[in-house]
Amino acid sequence: MLVKLEEIEKDFTTRIEALAKEADLLNLKSEFLGKAGKLSEVLKGLRNCSPEERKVIGPKANAIKDLIQTQIHKKIEALEIDIINKKLNENAIDLGLRKGRFSSSLSGGGLHPRTLIQREIEDVFLSMGFEVLDGPHIEDDVHNFEALNIPADHPARDMQDTFWFNDPSASDGKGNLLRTHTSTIQVRGMKERKPPFRFIAPGTVFRCERTDASHEFVFNQLEGMMVGKDISISNLIYFMKTLLKEIFKKDVEVRLRPGFFPFVEPGFELDISCLICSGKGCSVCKQTGWVELLPCGMVHPNVLVAGGIDPAEYNGFAFGLGLDRLVMMKYGIDDIRHLNSGDLRFNEQFKSY
Amino acid sequence: MLVSLNWIREFVKVPQEIDAKELGLRLTMGTAEVEEVLSIGQFWEEIVVAEITHIEKHPEADKLNLVTFKKDADSSFRVVCGAANVRVGLKTAFAPIGTTLPIGLTLEPRKIRGILSEGMLCSEEELALKDKSAGIIEFPEDAPLGMSLKEYWNKSSDTLFDIDNKSLTHRPDLWGHFGMAREFSALFHCKLEDRFDEDWKRGLESKFSKDSAPITLNMEEDCAGIIYSGISLDGVVVEESPDWMKEKIESVGLRSINNLVDISNYVMLELGMPLHIFDRDKISGSSLNIQSVKESCAFKTLDEETRQLEIGDTIIGDNSGPLVIAGIMGGLSSGVTETTKSIFIEVANWKAAKVRKTSTRLGLRTDSSMRYEKTLDSRLCYRTLLRTIELVKELCPKATIIGRPQHVGVNLEEESDLILDIRQEEICRVLGKELKLTEMVSIFESLGFGITEKKGCLSVTVPSYRATKDIDCSADLIEEIGRIIGYDNIEPVGPLLSVTPVRLSPLHHLKRRIQDFLSLEAKSLEVNTYPLIGAELLKKCSWENEAEELKLVNSLATQNDRMRPSLVPSFLEVAALNQKNFDHARFFELGRTYLKGDKSFSKEDDILGISFFDKNSSPFLDLVETCEGLCRFAHIPSDLTGRHPKFKSNVIDEQWSGIHPVEFLNIRIMGKMNGVVCSVHPLMLKKFKIKGHLSFAFFNLSEITSRPLKEKIGYSPLAKFPGSRFDYTVTLAKEESVELIFKALQKIKIKECSGHEIVDVFSPGNSSDRFITMRSLFQDPEKTLPGDYIKECEEKIITGLRKSGIGLKSS
């Protein structure tokens, strides 16, 4: 009997090979497993066997039955997949016809490069407990000059070419103007707060200056101010180094040298090691290896007083960063005028996706 | 400003071992920004005396010789030379390879007609000594071989520091070499040699005579004059200046004119105080009047330009009229000429603001006005006057002083010193660095400050030349210490701070959400445009408000001469620019608009503007959808509505002729029309040469964030019972909006109705009607709605629609 079973198995495996239709497969199944099937026929003779023989033949017969069932099932499934796949292939889409390749499609949107840098800086300062403020663009003489220790005849006004709405001399220092720096927000920030406080203020500023590839009459700055007890130059250097490390994602060499700004005392120019030549000297840094990045300093006592703060009790530092300059440095933009041009060929290079 | 190191070395022994670059760096780090370190006259050190030993003809060229020569006993060089006067035994000047000649040429190894030349034998022309010379220099026979011309001819080389004038704005004391030398002395710890001491002063004063002064001085009270002093000299001879003086003033960029003019420049460059020398014979009468101009008049200045003087300008004049514009420039008629015999020297101090005002108006910034603008120290006038006398006497030994110096103006005896107190620990605390008291005292003293110290408290007497505007509080003193020790020597340390939460302001937060939504969901690009625009653009847009009230008085160009009242004009410009390069373009801006304020001068609003452009079809509905999505995303409660008879848009003039007749929707936000979506009228598009369809949306963010925006996400339990839907088709005339159906449905109140949707729109070509298939949804969270109740609801909808004039499609 064992021999017969092996023959059946062999017979089945040979015959199933040749079949390629579901009906034929089902017929084959019933030919072997049906009531009058070959396997059933063999098993009918089982009762004549000794118990020892049954122990061998029984499992063997069951194994063959399982084999036939799974083989038939598998083959039918494979046939079905073949049919579906054939249909799918017939209706295949063109994988190259992606939507983004059509002229009618919109490519992804994105933020202005200035926004990208501004957000990054805002987030660095937010994480260190700085608020983010802004104020009006149209300011008065007091906020832009007087309260910042720049009285009417101060030579420092030479450095700032101001856009005036009224004749500055006619209205006796009460003229309206376009703010020439975000330092106006120092004044506003101080008046609205009690020390200790710290904030930054990114914003648009205006200078009556001829424009060229590196000068604009409308550009953006980012002001920072911190007022408290016992604030030191050493603290100022700490924040500036931290900021630059976060922006440039590496330790940047900085140097602090004296610089004159009426609203700080002592005042500094902060230079960073030229990123183009790594400090070796090139045309960008005029062979000095250093690039002037931001003016900063300890808030002048007169400025604190104008902001309603007692300089005997509190002091602080302030800094101003040329945001547009940083944007240009970071992305290698050759002409500042692109920033306000609205030319989407420029903006689209800063797409988010 | 150019500073000569040789000149500095006259006052302070700057260590020789520190090279020029390092000196410049230390000056930058401690005092003022050095833009460039230049070396001049280097060639005098490199060019040496050489003797010709052999001459042969150049094999390739008739007029050239191959000249062999030596610069010491054993050396031998050969150059190709074209000079006719070459001969064996001639001693001449040899410039080796690498020398940069004054004509700007740097010698490099070079082949002339195939033969290598090892440098150059020089003519006087090539050393810029003469305009033309016939051959190479011929030195006398005893000229020592190998000696540099620097030594042989006593020529000098120098290092110049080009200092950024802006970094000296607050330091009038540094506008002369003597003041700058003081900085070197503090920075390099070497003593300042003050030759202008009491002995020097007494020596010069002994030369004053007992004669009465030929010129008397009168000064008006309200003019620019603070103090005015002068002295007369006779018997001067105007001639060329000696070489040492020429060399010095020319090294720092001034031109030598004659001895007297050069003296006045020299003293200014040395001591930082300008002065003026009159030809006394040209002063009419015997007095000089320092006074304000009484009526405007023309005046010819030294530079031969005619300038218009106005009332309020200060001049020095005689009885014939103005001679000098105070602190700025002298007149052509009274200046020193070659025939001048007697002079009057003026040294004065002027009010900075007045000088600045006149010089700015005249557009005439001179070496003199630049210095007076910085506020000079009146106490320096007398020293300057004495130094000028000293030099006149030196250059014109026969000159005699007539009388004594005359003064008018403030009494310097009454001026008191500025004394500031500061504690040692205050300096350390602000710097963030521990410093010894002795260290501080030595820095202050090296800068000319007087110090008395008591228990860590310093009483600092500020020198008058630093007290004019620069130093007036203790913070200024801290800077003096900080800059001399060097800020780079301070370690960065984070402060100890209390921890408080910070958040972005609602407006700032909203802006960030808008940027995210519009860039990611609406695929738009963020742009920035100019807040300043011009009347021409406003006219082109037919914009009613031409913003005359917010016009600048000193604009750069008419297209940027006023503040924009709206983003619309800029948006039209940008859309026009981009339609050249894009078939569809979406951009947005978070910008400001500026209007005349009711109570204040101006009112600024933060505005969001969005622009969708499409060449082929109107992007209006896409933009509406974007705005609806944006409002949901930013938690702005909003609904779309048409024009309202009473409530007008807050963000656009509804009467603007550029608005499309159909494609216009107000967005009502918190009861006000704070948003709008509209398309631009084809006629307006034509004006801007825009071919396609353009839609704009604007939101007034300042208004929107005036009240807090609340997040409106809420949860309700999931429905346990099935809902049901009712589909029906209605007829609508083609010109009527589907909006009508929704408005009609809104009027039908069914509690269980949870919404209506459009299923399909069918417009048969041959019909004037459209057929709209609608679906209404019914749902009761508490129970399954019974069939007959649903039937009732369906009837209600059909009758309701019919009441509004909308009928079911007849089958």
pLDDT tens readout for residues B374-425? 999 999 999 999 999 999 999 999 999 999 999 999 998 888 999 999 999 9
B322 vs B333: CA distance, rounded Å = 10
CA distance A249 to B291: 62
Give CA–CA dist B139/B51, Å, rounded. Answer: 10
Burial class for A66, CB neighbours closer than 10 Å (0-12, 13-18, 19+): exposed
B102-140 in b/e form (b: 16+ CB < 10 A) is eeeeebeeeebeebebbbbbbbbbbbeeeeebebbbebe
> Which ranges of B232-335 does DSSP label H, i.e. alpha helix?
243-251, 259-271
Q: Which residues contact B342 (CB under 8 A, 6 or more apart)?
A: B232, B233, B234, B235, B236, B279, B280, B281
Compute the distance between CA of residue B251 and CA of residue B245 in angstroms, rounded to an integer: 10
Q: Which residues fall within 8 angstroms of residue B454, CB to CB, at 6 or more apart?
A: none
Q: Are strands A197-206 and A131-132 parallel, antiparallel or unpaired?
A: parallel
**pLDDT-flagged residues of chain A (< 70):** 155-160, 167-174
Every domain range in chain A assigned CATH 3.30.930.10 = 113-350
The 3-state DSSP composition of chain A as helix, strand, coil percent (nearest 5) reads 45, 20, 35
CB pairs < 8 Å spanning A and B? 237
pLDDT band at B100 (very low <50, low <70, confident <90, very high): confident
Test A268 with B494 for CB contact under 8 angstroms.
no
The letter for the amino acid at B506 is P
Residue-wise pLDDT tens digits, B451-463: 998 888 999 999 9
Place of tokens 């109570």: B599
Predicted pLDDT of residue A173: 54
Residue B433: closest CA among chain A residues belongs to which residue? Answer: A234
* Substitution target from B37, B517, B528 for chain A, most A beta carbons within 10 A: B528
| Number of neighbouring beta carbons within 10 Å of residue B657 | 12
Q: Which one, of B286, B292, B282, lies nearest residue B217 by Cα?
A: B286
The count of other CB atoms within 10 Å of the CB of residue B601 is: 17
What single-letter amino acid sits at B728?
Y
Chain A residues closer than 8 Å to B31 by CB: 258
pLDDT tens, position by position, B204-231: 999 999 999 999 999 999 999 999 999 9
**pLDDT at res. A6:** 87
Structure tokens at B627: 């705005």
Beta-carbon separation of A301 and B473 below 8 A: yes
Q: Does A100 touch chain B (CB under 8 A)?
A: no
* Domain A113-350: CATH superfamily, name plus number: Bira Bifunctional Protein; Domain 2 (3.30.930.10)
B475–A266 CB contact, under 8 Å: yes
Mean pLDDT of B671-700: 97
Tell me what pLDDT residue A66 has. Answer: 92
Interchain pair B601, A260: CB under 8 A:
no
Nearest to A103 among B479, B495, B583 (CB): B583
Cis peptide before A196 (omega within 30 of 0): yes
pLDDT tens digits, B331-370: 999 999 999 999 999 999 999 989 999 998 999 999 999 9
Nearest to B227 by CA among B333, B336, B384, B360: B384
CA B272-B275-B278 angle, to 5 degrees, is 165
- Could you tell me the end-to-end alpha-carbon distance of chain B, in angstroms, rounded to an integer? 96
Q: For B553, which of A111, A167, A196 is closest by C-beta distance?
A: A167
pLDDT for position A58 = 83
Torsion angle of C-alpha atoms B324, B329, B330, B336, degrees rounded to 10:
160
A314 to chain B: nearest residue by CA? Answer: B430
CA dist list (Å): B337 to B240, B321, B462: 12, 20, 41
Helix (H) or strand (E) holding B430: helix B424-431
Q: Are B556 and A176 in contact (CB < 8 Å)?
A: no
Nearest alpha carbon to residue B607 among B637, B569, B555, B635: B569
Q: Are residues A213 and A219 in contact, defined by beta-carbon separation less than 8 angstroms?
A: no
> In terms of pLDDT, which residue wins out, B560 or A172?
B560
Chain B contact for A9 (CB, 8 A cutoff): no
Q: Which of B155, B159, B187 is nearest to B2 (CA)?
A: B159
By three-state DSSP, how is residue A184 classified? helix
Q: Flag the least confident range among A335-349, B65-79, B531-545.
A: B65-79
Q: Do A153 and B432 touch (CB under 8 A)?
A: no
A33-47, A189-203, B57-71, B244-258: segment of lowest average pLDDT: A33-47
Contact B403, B371 (CB under 8 A): no
Lowest mean pLDDT among A158-162, B776-780, B789-793: A158-162
**Reported pTM:** 0.83
Domains and CATH numbers, chain B: 2-41+158-187 (3.30.56.10), 43-152 (2.40.50.140), 198-414 (3.50.40.10), 422-489 (3.30.56.10), 506-704 (3.30.930.10), 724-803 (3.30.70.380)
Cα distance between residue A58 and residue A66, in whole Å:
13
Q: How far is B197 from chain A, CA to nearest CA, in Å? A: 31
pLDDT, tens only, B283-328:
999 999 999 999 999 999 999 999 999 999 999 999 999 999 999 9
Which positions 302-321 of A are in contact with B (Cβ < 8 Å)?
302, 315
Q: Are B252 and B269 in contact (CB under 8 A)?
A: yes
Residue A194's pLDDT is what? 94
Task: Give me the pLDDT at residue B32, please.
Answer: 94
Distance from CA of B785 to the nearest CA of A (A): 43
Q: Cβ separation of A156 and B169 shorter than 8 Å? A: yes
In degrees and rounded to multiples of 5, residue B92 shows phi and psi of: -145, -175
Question: Cis peptide before A262, with omega less than 30 degrees from 0?
Answer: no
CA–CA separation, B172 and B356 (whole Å): 14
The structure tokens listed for B547 are 């913003």
pLDDT the model gives residue A316: 96
Give, in order, the Cα–Cα distances in Å from B134 to each of B84, B94, B593.
8, 17, 74
In chain B, residues with a C-beta closer than 8 Å to the C-beta of A134 are 508
